[in-house]
Amino acid sequence: MNAGARRLASAMAASLVVSGLLAAEEPKKPWSDVADFGFVMTSGNADGTNLAFANKFKYAWSNAELTFDAAALHAESTTRDITNPAPYGAAVVTDTTATTASSYALALMYRQNISERFYWYAGAAWYQNFFAGIDDRYIAGGGVGYTFLKTPRHLLKGELGLDFTRQVPLKSPPPDELATTDFLGMRAYLGYEFKISEKSKLTEDLNIFENFDTTSAWRANSFTALTAGFTDSLALKLSYTVLYSNDPLQKIIAPAAGALPGEPNAIYTFEKTDTILAVALVVNF
């Protein structure tokens, strides 16, 4: 090998070493954003629309993280009534579209490490679900958390804290016997993640809320998800959500039109359990 070739080879080797060092020192992107999309629409003989969306944004520092979560679920269906009215001989079709599911949620959470496993958190959330009788639910609170297990494949952590909740039920006819309630409570959380492969994982998030004013009005939310990745940016998620309220809200129903004066109102109690089974396309930004 002549001198020119040796100098060229040395320069190329030095360039590769420098490039490798620069790549190794390049800082990791501090933020991540994961969006879930689910959409079904039918038309023709049967009309309906189902839309599900969720987004999780996270910004991480060396010893802290900030997360912002948003979720929306909306479903509409159309019922068709076919009649043969006078003068008869011609079918009359009447379509009626109604919302059959609607819920929205926002949550902001900040966590900061105290030690390698111990940390504190503070957060705020808003939730709305007309079909469960909830016009608005605001929650603010904080507490401490502990990472019980952290390995390349397993992550298990728990949190315990205090929450202040303001809950606004759906409006009732006067007199409004179901007023807005404010109460202090406790939140217990357990989160688990199992990394099945490089692009697939199983997660479980369990939240339990206690109401110090009415101890029977405790709630529990469970979210189980299996995510299978196609690429670094796309994945398919199958999830199952359980929302349980041990003492669900009630709604006052006024007497139907034409009722005699003084007829009593009826009280309807909402169901204790709501479940959501969803399949969504996951996009990692």
Structure tokens of 60? 């991480």
Paired tokens of 117: 């496993």
Query: Is the Cα torsion angle 70, 213, 207, 178 positive or negative in sign?
Result: negative
Task: Quote the CATH superfamily of domain 32-284.
Answer: monomeric porin ompg (2.40.160.40)
Q: Which of 200, 183, 201 is nearest to 192 (CA)?
A: 201
What integer is the mean pLDDT of 236-260? 88
Nearest to 213 by CA among 170, 167, 153: 167
Interval 139-149 mean pLDDT: 97
Structure tokens at 86: 């006078």
pLDDT digit string (tens) for 14-58? Answer: 444 444 444 444 457 899 999 999 887 777 767 788 889 999 999
Query: Is residue 11's pLDDT more than 90?
Result: no
Greatest distance between any 2 Cα atoms in the chain? 111
Q: Are 247 and 214 in contact (CB under 8 A)?
A: yes
The model's pLDDT over 65-117, given as tens digits with 9 standing for 90+, comes to: 999 999 999 988 888 888 888 888 888 888 888 888 889 999 999 999 999 99
pTM of the full predicted structure?
0.80
- CB-based contact 125:151 (threshold 8 Å): no
pLDDT above 90 covers a percentage of the chain that reads: 54
Break the chain into its structural domains and give their ranges. Answer: 32-284
Kind of pairing between the strands at 250-253 and 234-245: unpaired
Q: 257, exposed or middle or buried, with CB in 10 Å at 0-12, 13-18, 19+?
A: exposed
Answer yes or no: are the C-beta atoms of 146 and 118 closer than 8 Å: yes
Q: List the structure tokens of 121.
A: 């958190």
Is the model more confident about 95 or about 152?
152
- Distance in angstroms (rounded) separating the CA atoms of residues 110 and 251: 35
Q: Where are the beta strands (DSSP E) in the chain?
A: 31-42, 47-60, 64-83, 92-113, 118-129, 134-150, 154-169, 181-195, 200-211, 219-229, 234-245, 250-253, 266-269, 273-284
The neighbour count for residue 39, using CB atoms within 10 Å, is 11
Closest CA to 233 of 268, 285, 277, 156: 285
Pairing of strands 92-113, 118-129: antiparallel
Do 19 and 26 meet the contact criterion of CB atoms below 8 Å apart? no
Q: Is the pLDDT of residue 178 over 60?
A: no
